[in-house]
Protein backbone atom coordinates (compact mmCIF):
# COMPACT_ATOMS: atom_id res chain seq x y z
CA UNK A 1 0.00 0.00 0.00
CA UNK A 2 1.55 3.33 -1.02
CA UNK A 3 2.33 6.18 1.34
CA UNK A 4 1.34 9.82 0.90
CA UNK A 5 2.94 12.93 2.36
CA UNK A 6 0.39 14.99 4.30
CA UNK A 7 2.77 17.78 5.33
CA UNK A 8 6.34 18.98 4.85
CA UNK A 9 7.94 20.54 7.94
CA UNK A 10 11.14 22.59 7.82
CA UNK A 11 13.95 21.72 10.21
CA UNK A 12 16.85 23.83 11.51
CA UNK A 13 19.04 22.13 8.90
CA UNK A 14 18.35 23.80 5.51
CA UNK A 15 19.11 20.49 3.77
CA UNK A 16 16.70 18.43 5.90
CA UNK A 17 12.93 18.18 5.73
CA UNK A 18 10.45 16.26 7.85
CA UNK A 19 7.72 14.54 5.83
CA UNK A 20 4.58 13.63 7.78
CA UNK A 21 2.91 10.59 6.21
CA UNK A 22 -0.67 9.38 6.04
CA UNK A 23 0.27 6.20 7.91
CA UNK A 24 3.22 4.83 9.81
CA UNK A 25 6.18 3.52 7.81
CA UNK A 26 7.41 1.84 11.00
CA UNK A 27 4.41 -0.24 12.11
CA UNK A 28 6.16 -1.86 15.04
CA UNK A 29 7.22 1.55 16.31
CA UNK A 30 10.83 0.95 15.35
CA UNK A 31 12.91 3.52 13.58
CA UNK A 32 15.68 3.06 11.07
CA UNK A 33 18.09 5.28 9.21
CA UNK A 34 20.25 5.05 6.13
CA UNK A 35 23.03 7.35 4.92
CA UNK A 36 25.01 7.47 1.71
CA UNK A 37 28.14 8.38 3.69
CA UNK A 38 27.78 5.15 5.69
CA UNK A 39 27.42 2.34 3.11
CA UNK A 40 27.11 -0.22 5.91
CA UNK A 41 23.67 1.29 6.59
CA UNK A 42 22.30 0.49 3.12
CA UNK A 43 18.63 -0.55 3.23
CA UNK A 44 18.11 -4.31 3.22
CA UNK A 45 15.83 -6.00 0.70
CA UNK A 46 13.23 -6.28 3.45
CA UNK A 47 12.91 -2.46 3.53
CA UNK A 48 11.54 -1.41 0.12
CA UNK A 49 10.61 2.04 1.42
CA UNK A 50 14.15 2.78 2.61
CA UNK A 51 15.57 1.42 -0.64
CA UNK A 52 13.18 3.54 -2.74
CA UNK A 53 14.12 6.75 -0.93
CA UNK A 54 17.86 6.06 -0.96
CA UNK A 55 17.65 5.30 -4.70
CA UNK A 56 16.95 9.01 -5.27
CA UNK A 57 20.35 10.48 -6.24
CA UNK A 58 19.72 13.79 -4.42
CA UNK A 59 19.10 12.10 -1.06
CA UNK A 60 22.05 11.86 1.35
CA UNK A 61 20.17 10.20 4.22
CA UNK A 62 16.77 9.25 5.57
CA UNK A 63 15.39 8.63 9.05
CA UNK A 64 12.22 6.54 9.03
CA UNK A 65 10.12 6.86 12.17
CA UNK A 66 6.57 6.23 13.35
CA UNK A 67 4.33 8.46 11.21
CA UNK A 68 7.06 10.46 9.51
CA UNK A 69 10.40 10.44 7.75
CA UNK A 70 13.17 13.00 7.66
CA UNK A 71 15.15 13.32 4.47
CA UNK A 72 18.49 15.08 4.03
CA UNK A 73 19.32 16.20 0.51
CA UNK A 74 22.61 17.06 -1.14
CA UNK A 75 23.34 20.79 -0.68
CA UNK A 76 23.22 21.40 -4.44
CA UNK A 77 19.83 19.72 -4.95
CA UNK A 78 16.68 21.82 -5.35
CA UNK A 79 13.87 21.16 -2.88
CA UNK A 80 11.15 21.22 -5.55
CA UNK A 81 12.62 18.28 -7.46
CA UNK A 82 13.56 16.41 -4.26
CA UNK A 83 10.02 16.71 -2.87
CA UNK A 84 8.56 15.46 -6.15
CA UNK A 85 10.95 12.48 -6.27
CA UNK A 86 10.31 11.53 -2.63
CA UNK A 87 6.52 11.77 -3.09
CA UNK A 88 6.76 9.52 -6.17
CA UNK A 89 8.95 6.99 -4.34
CA UNK A 90 6.53 6.89 -1.41
CA UNK A 91 3.53 6.49 -3.71
CA UNK A 92 5.18 3.51 -5.41
CA UNK A 93 6.75 1.85 -2.35
CA UNK A 94 5.13 -1.30 -1.01
CA UNK A 95 4.64 -1.79 2.71
CA UNK A 96 7.54 -3.41 4.55
CA UNK A 97 7.53 -7.19 4.73
Prediction pTM value: 0.87
Q: Range with the lowest mean pLDDT among 14-28, 41-55, 72-86?
A: 41-55
pLDDT at 97 over 80: no
CATH 3.30.1370.70 assigned to 5-92: yes
Read off the pLDDT of residues 62-79 as tens digits, 9 standing for 90 and up: 999 988 999 999 999 999
Provide the pLDDT confidence category of residue 94 given band limits of 50, 70 and 90.
Answer: confident
What are all long-range contacts of 18-23, with beta carbons under 8 Å and residues at least 24 apart?
18/68, 18/69, 18/70, 19/68, 19/69, 19/70, 19/71, 19/86, 19/90, 20/67, 20/68, 21/67, 21/68, 21/69, 21/90, 23/67
Q: Domain-by-domain residue ranges, the chain?
A: 5-92
Amino acid sequence: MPYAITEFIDTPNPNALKCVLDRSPAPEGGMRSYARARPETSPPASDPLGAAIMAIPAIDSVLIHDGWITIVKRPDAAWASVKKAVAAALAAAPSPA
